[in-house]
Chains A and B, each alone.
Chain A
Amino acid sequence: MTSKSRRRRIAAILRYAALTAWAVVAFFPIFWMISTSFKPDTQWFAWPPFYFPHPPTLSNYLNVWFGAEEYAATQYAISSQKPLISLMNSTIIAGTSTLLSVLFGSVLAYGVSRYRILSETRMFQLLMLRMIPPIVIVAPLSLYYSALGLLDSMTGLILIYFLTTLPYAVWMTKSFIDEVPREIEQAAEILGASRWRTIFEIVLPLIRSGLVATFLFILILTWSEYLLALIITKTQVTTLPIELSKYQGTTEGRVYGRQAALSVGITIPLIIVGLIIRRHLARGFSFGMVRR
Chain B
Amino acid sequence: MAFDIIVYAENKKDGFKRSVLEAVSEGRRLADTLGSELCAVVIGSDVGALAPALGEFGADLVLVAEDEGLGTFSPDGYCDILERAITQKSSSIVLLDASIRGKELAAKLSARLSAGLATECVNIEIKDGTQVVATRPLYAGKALVDVAFNSPIRIMTLRPKAFVASEAPREAAIERMEHAPDEGRTGPVIKETIDVGGGKIDLREADIIVSGGRGMKNGENFAILEEFADLLGGVVGASRSAVDAGWRPHSDQVGQTGKVVSPSLYVACGISGQIQHLVGMNTSKNIVAINKDPDAPIFAVADYGIVGDLFDVVPALTEEARRLRS
Are these two chains actual partners, yes or no?
A: no
Q: B-side interface residues toward A, CB under 8 Å?
A: none
